[in-house]
Amino acid sequence: VETLFDRAGVPVFQVIVATTRRDIWQDNQRGLAPADLAMHVVLPELDGRILAGAISFKGESEVDPALAFRAFA
């Protein structure tokens, strides 16, 4: 199936929005979790996208008094 990007003939860059915290990523010899590798590296490369690196990691935010919980964002 030809995509809009195929027709345009332009490169498509894929970024990683990791599902782990940055400190865990840095300390892990394997780097990304298996799910992150599959979703953000392997499958996009099969589609011809170019990996541009990780731009986001999970982390705790401040407690929101209106919601009465701490979101994991």
Binned at pLDDT 50, 70 and 90, residue 52 comes out as very high
Quote the pTM value. Answer: 0.64
Distance CA 3, CA 56 (A): 27
Per residue in 2-44, pLDDT tens?
A: 888 888 989 999 999 898 888 988 898 888 888 998 988 998 8
- Beta partners for residue 72, in sequence order: 60
Q: How many domains does the chain have?
A: 1
- The domain in which residue 47 lies consists of 4-72
pLDDT at 63 over 70: yes
